[in-house]
Amino acid sequence: MKRDLDRPGGSATLGGDAASSAVSWPRRPIARQPGQPPHDSALGHVQGSARYIDDLPLREGELRIALVGAPCARGRVTRLDLDAVRAAPGVVGVYTAADLPGANLWGPIFHDEPVLAEEVVAYLGQPLAVVAADDERDARAAAALARVEVEEEEPVLTIEQAVAAGEFIGPQRQIARGDLEAGWERARQRIEGRFESKGQEQFYLESQAALVVPEEGGSLLVYSSTQNPTEIQKVVADALGWRQSQVVCEVLRMGGAFGGKETQAALPAVFAALVAFHTHRPVRVVYGKDEDMLLTGKRHEFHTDYRIGFDERGRIVAAELDVRSNGGAYADLSTAVLERCMLHLDNAYHLPAVRIGARVCRTNLPPNTAFRGFGGPQGMAVIESCMEEIAARLRLDPLDVRRVNLYPADEASDAALTPYGQRVRGNLLPEIFDRLEQSSDYRLRRREISQHNARTDAWGEPPCVLRGLSLVPVKFGISFTNKTLNQANALVNVYTDGSVQVSTGATEMGQGVNTKLAMIVAQEFGIDHRRVVVRPTSTEKNNNTSPTAASASTDLNGAAAVKACAAIRERLAELASGLLAGSTDGLAPAPEQVGFEGGAVFDRRAPERRIDFAELCRRAHVERIDLGARSFYATPGIDFDRETGRGCPFAYYTTGACVAEVRVDRLLGTLELERLDVLMDIGKPIHLAIEMGQIVGGLVQGIGWVTGEELVYDGRGELLTTSPTTYKIPAASDLPRDLRVEILDNDLNRHNVRSTKAVGEPPLMLAIAVWTAVRDALGAAVALGARPGDLRIPATHEEIARTLSGCSVEEWIAAS
């Protein structure tokens, strides 16, 4: 790890820089900084002792369940014969919608999705019945005996089909700003077209899972692999007709989630709870991987029709964008995902006159849901594609077109206003852009690549291997766009031995939030992080929690924990000031002069006067001073009016940029990543190694979305890509040969806890630079008929080959 102190706060680098030879990623592990603990689950993961739902001990009388699903994607159920299922060996019970004592409709925004379908089915495999047995094999074998007859209807599977059929979810949305008519008059040139990005599977390693245990007094304890314990609590209670106080949801950790367990963990938990309610026995459900991929929602597919006007320098003066997303059969979070897409169609660029219209399409696929970025990637990709097209039209370097459109550093400028009226404050993007251009040797590499692609062989054709280069910025808003969710509470208990227990609503899914919370609390009391334990998330200790999502969990829960620590510290300081005061030298008690550091408490006026933190805690207990505190935090200064499309939905923006260099084999359509240079402003990192891991992990996941991961459905609505053999997630061999990651370490985001910035989602969008670099490479084959403007996301080998051929999608399908 290298520190560069040429700017306030310095920077941290992984890999190399322009002045030194690069070190490839696998050979340069991220070193933890002094005083930083390892990830709290690191040892357990390495030893295989970290527990997940399926690792929890078998409970006495425990049942397993399987589902009876719809045999088609759309139709009316005419027969559901479960007699053979009930008579099958090992079966304890079979349950349908009629057995739900409470509500059969649920949803995080609209209550439109059945827990168990009754008369109508809306996607293939939609659950109709739950089979409970002593053994999972018996349950699955019995479920296969169900006789389901459906009067089939033609399914609506695509955005085009949904638009033609008038199938939509929620109202038409619009955001508009500026004088479009005047903008079009100023425009020297225009481009228009359609941009398409497909969905993506979250591919978490631990499938959807829950264990439900009946407890005394008519209550249930739900162990769930979920990002949203409070929603599990509420949906289970609603389905059973209970009060929320009768259900406790606990989360130790998840084996990955990426948004896929924000809402979609609810149904497995309800299925298990339904059986537990009727049998009074513990019930466990763990989806198989194929089952999980078939039944759960993905990242949304988006189509955006655009019309862009620009001047001779490529500066955008007018923009009209019409957005459609594939929401699947029910609403889930689709309208919220659509909204965040709309709020990120500008990405890092000032659009002085813009109109954005958007709507969610209803189709007969499993309801699509949250995925890292939550609509932001789909929005940003549109404007980045437009930047490439503008540059090609004007024969300019795309970097120069992007630079002239960037939001300025001057936050008072009219050009610092987003389409929805929020000012971009503390904007380091111009600096990031210029620094990365220099550190990556962009101009030199651009000349070399242009010369390489301009070469011709004896037949006058360009090289077989084309090279591409692109620099793409990212500006991602941090906060839930639903204002209500921007809140958190924390419970902090200090014990008489000086150790501390912390409980918050944040859930651990590998991102290291518990480790960072422990560090924050330890710093507040000036003690070693090993004295702090972060407990499993439970609705019993932390009520009405928000989901661990929107990259805001450390911000929200960390701020709540700081407030709780401050309350306890104030009481301890009052006691310590009296203990540390001296009658002989006239040092009067002064609580405001008490400091906490190095495991001791001292008076800043006489630092040699100290008392051990644990001893002070013992004294406080003797003096009957409260050593516990519960606190609440709500993000200030945010608001957004959906009716007008105006407001300040975000507390701040996390920004960064990526330079990507790729090689494309124009004969095979194959792609290789040559080099990636990343520079991000993430404020003051709490745990540098964890933040770096998030940057690299998000970047690689984004590379999967823009290159190899393609969801393929047949005409019945069945997903055909249900395993790594057919669904290509990134492998180690897909990483770039040269990966360089640098952060701008600064304390400019001072209103946030520890002056940090969120880093969970923004890095994923840096991967758009890989896609634009592929498009850049394909531009060298235009003379051979290539149509780089037609390239879609993901740029799979087949998609690259299609674009090189000049065929439309329809022509390509017909030819194959």
Neighbours of 119 (CB within 10 A): 9
The CA R_g of the chain, rounded to the nearest whole Å, is 28
Phi/psi of residue 805, nearest 5 degrees: -75, -20
User: What is the rounded CA–CA span in Å between residue 640 and residue 286?
Assistant: 39
Q: How far apart are the first and last CA of the chain?
A: 50
- 615 tagged catalytic: no
Phi, psi (5° rounding) for residue 100?
-80, 120
Sequence length of the chain is 816
CA 519-520-523 angle, 5° bins: 85
Q: DSSP string covering 255-318, please?
A: S--TTTTSSTTHHHHHHHHHHHHHH-S-EEEE--HHHHHHHS--SPPEEEEEEEEE-TT--EEE
Name the packing angle between helices 768-778 and 376-394 (round to 10°): 30
CA 267, distance to chain mean position in Å, is 21
Identify which of 318, 311, 313, 338 has the alpha carbon closest to the alpha carbon of residue 419.
Answer: 318
CA angle 186, 189, 192 (to 5 degrees): 115
Cα(139)–Cα(143) distance, rounded to whole angstroms?
6
- Bridge partners for 472 per DSSP: 658
- The C-alpha atoms of residue 603 and residue 609 are separated, in whole angstroms, by 6
Give dist(CA 455, CA 461) in Å, integer.
8
* Nearest of 678, 123, 162, 575 to residue 368 by alpha carbon: 123
In the Cβ-directed half-sphere of 479, how many Cα atoms lie within 13 Å?
21
Q: Give the Cα-Cα-Cα angle 646, 648, 649 (nearest 5 degrees).
A: 100
- Strands 738-744 and 11-14, how do they pair? antiparallel
Active-site pick, 312, 761, 798, 799? 761
The answer for 793, left when phi > 0, alpha when psi is -120 to 50, beta otherwise, is beta
501 pairs with which residues across the strands? Answer: 493, 533
Please give the Cα distance from 70 to 614 (Å, whole number).
Answer: 61
Known catalytic residues are 761
